[in-house]
Structure 1
Amino acid sequence: MADPEFWNGIAERYARQPVANPQSFERKIDVTASLIGQHSVVLDIGCGTGSLALRLAPHAQAVHGLDASSRMIDIARQKAATEQVRNVEFHLGALGAGLSAFADASLDVVCAYSLLHLVTDRPAALRQMHRLLKPGGYFVSSTTCLGWSWPLLKPVLRTMRWLGKAPHVDGFDSQRLAREIRDAGFVDLRQPDVGAKRSIAFIVARRPV
């Protein structure tokens, strides 16, 4: 959730861009929705323009979306108003300060779609998410795992970020991500088959009861 100026600059284009893999996205939503009850409170971190949060709203008592981009949040709020979705609230804020608005052990489900590869201190962010969940609550992540398999990718991304053409991106593999999620205190990790590309790790985990 770093680089809010970059995300503000692409927000309009991002909102118009179709989902890259619609079938996989639908499967991810189905898996996530299956973890939500009618009295559940859900937080979507890095919510962007609110697509996921709005899709989860019919399954939950309340859904919160958090994003560091003010323009993304503006678009998400406009979409909620247009669709007359009344149980979703969008919050402007980055990890850390933004999450401090939520009490410890207050959430039933925390989602982090297309987020963790953009976070500068991923272990700290995962510990925060763990702390916000109720015992037995679920964490759902869909993360691009680049692993720096192409040697030139890292310097290219660094140059693009310096030029303002890309955000911070970290490279790691799915095994490292799973280890970090466990180290943050989560248990019962599983990776449902949602038809995603091999470079994307879709992980469901739980805070112990």
Structure 2
Amino acid sequence: MLIHPPRFWNMMARSYARRPVGNQAAYEYKLDFTASHLSSQDRLLEIGCGTGTTALIHAPNVAHIDAIDYSSEMISIAREKAKEQDVGNVNFEVSAFDCWPIPVKDQKYDAVLAMSILHLVLDLDATLDRVSNSLKEGGLLFSSTVCLEGVEKYAIPALGAIGLLPKIRVLTQEILVERMLAFGFSIEHNWRPENGSAAFIVARNGARRR
């Protein structure tokens, strides 16, 4: 479950959809890196998919994507985009990640996308545990997470508390990596642009609890 209730994101959805990407070069780097690790047979899950842009970009590279968000308005926009683009292999559904069923062994995902979402969840450990159990052994978690350092640790949460920004949890890059390792992931790639606060971490799922 996310820190903000669904009604917040429903109100934000249309303006969010019109907002340009904050760091286009970094976004394209993450897209290209992710695409280079996908195959046409892969099944993906995107959690917190928002208005569906990332899922629809990756759709031609994979067999199927389940893309979920607990904002019904975000999913409505994503479905509109899919129809306009004639994309048929992305299943957009309204669901919180903790309500989405964990696949049985033979149907686990090859990859999970968690782009701009891990800093918004109430329980990071529970989320990582659920990601691990949703992935095949050796499957990949692609994540882009706002990590706060210095004065950002105080300023951004304060702006969230008064409603000027979404509420986010205070995470550092080191803490995020440590929690991923604790849940059986190995870090394949750890990158952060100089002019951005989001850490792009690609982690491979291990054999813990299998």
Shared fold (TM-score, shorter chain, > 0.5): yes
Matching of residue 87 in structure 1 with residue 85 in structure 2: no
Aligned to 2:114: 112
Aligned partners of 1:130 and 1:207 also within 8 Å: yes
The separation in 1 between residues aligned to 2:113 and 2:28, in whole angstroms, is 15
CA change 1:196–1:130 in 2 (3 A) is farther
The match for 1:124 among 126, 136, 142 is 126
The Cα shift of 1:69 comes to 0.3
- Give the number of the structure with larger relative contact order, counting CA–CA contacts within 8 Å between residues 6 or more apart: 1
CA change 1:133–1:158 in 2 (3 A) is same
The separation in 2 between residues aligned to 1:152 and 1:33, in whole angstroms, is 34
Q: Secondary structure at the match of 1:179?
A: helix
Aligned partners of 1:119 and 1:168 also within 8 Å: no
The separation in 1 between residues aligned to 2:194 and 2:54, in whole angstroms, is 16
User: Sequence identity of aligned pairs in percent?
Assistant: 36
Aligned to 1:100: 101
The Cα shift of 1:147 comes to 4.0
Q: Secondary structure at the match of 1:170?
A: coil
Q: Secondary structure at the match of 1:29?
A: helix
Compute the TM-score of the two structures, normalised by the length of structure 1. 0.90
CA change 1:43–1:86 in 2 (3 A) is same
Q: Structure 1: where are the runs of 5+ without partners?
A: none
Please tell me the residue identity of whatever aligns with 2:77: I
Q: Secondary structure at the match of 2:142?
A: strand
Q: Structure 2: where are the runs of 5+ without partners?
A: none
Aligned partners of 1:3 and 1:167 also within 8 Å: no
Aligned to 1:171: 170
Q: Secondary structure at the match of 1:18?
A: coil
Q: Deviations over 1:25-52 (max 9, x none)?
A: 1110111111111100011110000000
The Cα shift of 1:198 comes to 4.3
* Match runs of 1:23-172 below 5 Å: 23-97=25-99, 99-100=100-101, 102-103=103-104, 106-147=108-149, 149-150=151-152, 151-160=154-163, 166-172=165-171
Q: Deviations over 1:76-107 (max 9, x none)?
A: 0010011000111101111211x226445610
The Cα shift of 1:155 comes to 3.6
